[in-house]
């Protein structure tokens, strides 16, 4: 069970939460709870496809069996690793921004424990992927990463985030994004291995 308590919704309730979360997230993109709710209420089928891919992968099955979490108590050792390791790069990314892996909101609207874990995993590896693709946390970097996440997982929320992000670009940002980041992110998302089936948090 993913801590935080889950809420079972009827179809009309799920749609209402999705619409409300969309409006709220567009008005205030900093509301991680609304973005999380949007991802869960619109992403059930995408998460089911990710779950099936994980079940078809030895490493994915290990993730589903062991259910590692990306929280301070589990990844704190990254701060002690050698400078040339992925774990150290992740620690630098988090530390330089004063981020905590414990800040992710809990999963509330998934129907099963397995889907709840997949949704939580997708949420928790976001900063791993920032580190892996060396993307900043500004508007362009977040939008590019959401495009990669859409290519990897097919979540409608990721596509909506890309649309919302590009709508807030100024002219200079828009030109830079579509000339450089957009084609690169499409290739990165399509050509990378299935990252939801990569353990990562062992930092080996």
What's the chain's length in residues?
204
The answer to whether 45 is annotated as binding is: no
pLDDT band per the 50, 70, 90 thresholds, residue 149: very high
Average pLDDT over residues 128-141: 97
The response to whether 126 counts as a known ligand-binding position is yes
Residues 6+ apart with CB under 8 A from 44: 110, 111, 115
What's the mean pLDDT in 30-51?
Answer: 90
- State the pLDDT at residue 3: 52
pLDDT band for position 1 (cuts 50, 70, 90): very low
Choice between 15 and 153, residue whose per-residue pLDDT is larger:
153
| Domain residue extents for the chain | 11-197
Confidence check: pLDDT of 25 > 90:
no
Instruction: Establish whether 3 is an annotated binding residue.
Output: no
- Residue 129: per-residue pLDDT: 98
Question: What is the 8-class DSSP label of residue 103?
Answer: G
| Cα separation values, 154 from 46, 50, 59, 165, 175, Å | 6, 9, 20, 17, 25
Tell whether the model's pLDDT for residue 67 goes beyond 90.
yes
pLDDT at position 51 over 70: yes
Over range 88-102, report the average pLDDT.
95
Cα–Cα distance, 176 to 159 (Å, whole number): 19
In contact, 127 and 94? CB cutoff 8 Å? yes
Closest CA to 27 of 180, 146, 167: 167
Mean pLDDT of the chain: 91
The predicted-structure confidence for 115-129, as pLDDT tens digits, reads as follows: 999 999 999 999 999
Reported as a pLDDT band with limits 50, 70 and 90, residue 33 is confident
DSSP annotation of 86: H
Provide the 8-state DSSP code for 177.
Answer: I
* Spatial contact of 6 and 107, defined as CB atoms under 8 Å apart: yes
> What pLDDT is attached to residue 204?
55
- The single residue listed with the structure tokens 């002690």 is 80
- State residue 4's pLDDT score: 56
d(CA 140, CA 157): 17
Per residue in 156-200, pLDDT tens?
999 999 999 999 999 999 999 999 999 999 999 999 999 999 998
Give CB contacts under 8 A, 24+ apart, made by 109-115. 109/6, 109/7, 109/9, 109/14, 109/17, 109/37, 109/40, 109/41, 110/6, 110/40, 110/44, 110/47, 111/8, 111/44, 113/1, 113/2, 114/51, 114/64, 115/44, 115/47, 115/48, 115/51
127 is in an annotated binding site: yes
User: Where does the pLDDT of residue 18 fall: very low under 50, low under 70, confident under 90, or very high at 90 and above?
Assistant: confident
CB atoms within 10 A of CB 16: 13
How far, rounded to the nearest angstrom, does the alpha carbon of residue 52 sit from its chain's CA centroid? 18
Report d(CA 202, CA 204) in Å as an integer: 5
pTM for the model: 0.90
CA 153/CA 123 separation, integer angstroms: 12
pLDDT at 123: 96
């Amino acid at each position: 069970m993913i801590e935080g308590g889950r809420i079972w919704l009827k179809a009309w309730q799920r749609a209402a939460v999705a619409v409300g979360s969309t409006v709220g997230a567009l008005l205030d993109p900093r509301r991680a709870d609304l973005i999380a709710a949007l991802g869960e209420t619109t992403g059930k089928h995408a998460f089911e496809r990710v779950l099936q891919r994980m079940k078809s992968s030895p490493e994915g099955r290990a993730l589903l069996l062991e259910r590692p979490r990306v929280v301070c108590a589990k990844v704190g050792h990254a701060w002690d690793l050698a400078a040339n390791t992925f774990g150290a790069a992740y620690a630098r990314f988090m530390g330089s921004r004063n981020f905590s892996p414990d800040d992710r909101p809990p999963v509330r609207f998934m129907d099963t424990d397995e889907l709840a874990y997949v949704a939580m995993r997708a949420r928790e590896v976001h900063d791993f992927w920032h580190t892996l693709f060396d993307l900043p946390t500004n508007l362009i970097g977040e939008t590019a990463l959401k495009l990669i996440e859409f290519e990897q997982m097919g979540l409608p929320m990721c596509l909506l985030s890309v649309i919302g992000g590009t709508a807030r670009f100024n002219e200079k940002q828009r030109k830079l994004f579509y000339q450089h980041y957009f084609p690169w992110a499409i290739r990165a998302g399509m050509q990378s291995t299935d990252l939801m089936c990569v353990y990562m948090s062992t930092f080996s």
